[in-house]
Amino acid sequence: MERNLHVEAIPGLAVRDFEVEIVERKGKGHPDSLTDGAAEEVSRGLCKYYREEFGQILHHNVDKGILVGGKSEPVFGGGRVVAPIYLMVAGRATERVVLKGREVRVPVEEIAVNSIKKFIKENMRFLDPEKHVEIKTRIKQGSSDLISVFERRNRVPVSNDTSIGVGYAPLTPTEELVLGIEKQLLNSPNFKKKYPEVGEDIKVMGLRIGKKLKITIAAAMISSLIPDASHYASVLSDVQEEVEKFVSRSELDVEVKINSADDTKHGSYYITVTGTSAEQGDDGNTGRGNRVNGLISPMRQYSMEATAGKNPVNHTGKIFNALALLSARQIAKEVKGVRDVYVRILSRIGTPIDEPQIASAALVLEKGVPFSSVKSDVLSIMDSSFREIDKITDRILGGEIELF
């Protein structure tokens, strides 16, 4: 077995020590997040069906998705969707299986459409997949060569692609706040009970210059729950207070602005019928949103690979991003003296997934910490992660590892 593990210390500052840091989080109702979620839910639906019917997950990759925004007429106290959102998931899946001498058809389109509807219902309170979304699929039978690679299993699956996975840790204070504002606060169940007027399409952008952090939030508001401009302003004021309270725990000096594009003089407010900008002109694509740790961090090393929708058995574009993140988190937590760590993993199509071309950890160390004191511990953690790679499929399907 060739595991090709590598560790190096890299010179320079950790990201938290940069003078300038920019971080973004696209909330679960953002058009890109909706497209990622739809693709991933189709994959999970197929995995569930394949396991129940055939005892194992079969070849599929449904990681191509597009959302074309609809048209709506939101008004205070009401509004309507005039033209539906168009949402399509495309890719490849096993449609026919020979079982006990007879060919069995897999209802791929039915599984896909039902999975997308399920995802929307579970994540969006006011977006009705029956009325507000036109759902389409373009999922064809997989190519024979990739199916052959998928089925070539002995000890472990064989890589479906030559792909890059990258993960880093720990999060900076800026990253923690940007992620937490959307995930732990504004889109949390408790917050929605308290402020149901706030929709799910929430985008958080953070700009840190030195110790000063500027947070810009765009939050789609639910028009039917807001009778007038006065109520809108009141809710926004309350939300501002909640966010400021949330960020007050930080060591940074934080300034918060919400829905700064509003033009109250001309009656322009960020109100929506369904809680997402996708209802009126904003579009989405698979892979354009958050990386596997839930953030878009341009100051970091990361892979552009879309993780959502790829099969969780042997597509290293998915598995290696998840594995790299888990390894990086463990290294940052357990190895003393590591200020930043980046784990980069490269697969080669046709080779076992636990034998990468390289799995490389790059370390930014605390001042005075010798590389020799941490190298063996980092190698041990990386080796252990590959020894347990067979568990990652169920960890992804069980929701333990969030992909966007």
Tell me the pLDDT of the chain (404 aa) as tens digits.
Answer: 678 999 999 999 999 999 999 999 999 999 999 999 999 999 999 999 999 999 999 999 999 999 999 999 999 999 999 999 999 999 999 999 888 788 899 999 999 999 999 999 999 999 999 999 999 999 998 766 656 667 666 678 999 999 999 999 999 999 999 999 999 999 999 999 999 999 999 999 999 999 999 999 999 999 999 999 999 999 999 999 999 999 999 999 999 999 999 999 999 999 999 999 999 989 999 999 999 999 999 999 999 999 999 999 999 999 999 999 999 999 999 999 999 999 999 999 999 999 999 999 999 999 999 999 999 999 999 999 999 999 999 999 999 998 99
Contacts of 114 (CB under 8 A, 6+ apart): 45
* pLDDT score recorded for residue 144: 63
Q: How many CB atoms lie within 10 A of CB 253?
A: 12
Residue 394 lies in a domain: no
Residue 223 lies in a domain: yes
* pLDDT score recorded for residue 334: 98
Give backbone dihedrals phi and psi of 127, rounded to 5 degrees, phi first: -95, 110
CB-based contact 71:82 (threshold 8 Å): yes
* pLDDT score recorded for residue 101: 82
Q: Convert the chain into a string of H (helix), E (strand) and C (coil).
A: CCCCEEEEECCCCCHHHCCEEEEEEECCCCHHHHHHHHHHHHHHHHHHHHHHHHCCCCCEEEEEEEEECCEEEEECCEEEEEECEEEEEEEEECCEEEECCEEEECCHHHHHHHHHHHHHHHHCCCCCCCCCEEEEEEEECCCHHHHHHHHCCCCCCECCCCCEEEEEECCCHHHHHHHHHHHHHHCCHHHHHHCCCEEEEEEEEEEEECCEEEEEEEEEEEHHHCCCHHHHHHHHHHHHHHHHHHHCCCCCEEEEEECCCCEHHHCECCEECCCCHHHHCCCEECCCCCCCCCCECCCCCCCCCCCCCECCCCCHHHHHHHHHHHHHHHHHHHCCCEEEEEEEEECCCCCECCCCCEEEEEEEECCCCCHHHCHHHHHHHHHHHHHCHHHHHHHHHCCCCCCC
CA distance 14 to 337: 12
> Do you know the residue count of the chain?
404
Residue 160 lies in a domain: no
CB-based contact 185:248 (threshold 8 Å): no
* pLDDT score recorded for residue 156: 87
The pair of three-digit structure tokens given for residue 301, joined into one six-digit string: 């090393």
* pLDDT score recorded for residue 15: 98
Residue 114 lies in a domain: no
Range of the domain at 250: 16-26+172-284
Residue 148 lies in a domain: no
CA distance 176 to 169: 11
Residue 237 lies in a domain: yes
* pLDDT score recorded for residue 155: 73
Residue 359 lies in a domain: no
* pLDDT score recorded for residue 100: 79
Residue 5 lies in a domain: no
* pLDDT score recorded for residue 41: 98
Count structural domains, the chain: 1
Residue of 350, 367, 290, 267 lying closest to 24 (CA atoms):
290
* pLDDT score recorded for residue 2: 72
Contacts of 112 (CB under 8 A, 6+ apart): 42, 45, 46, 62, 89, 137, 139
CATH of the domain at 263: 3.30.300.340
* pLDDT score recorded for residue 142: 75
CA distance 274 to 83: 13
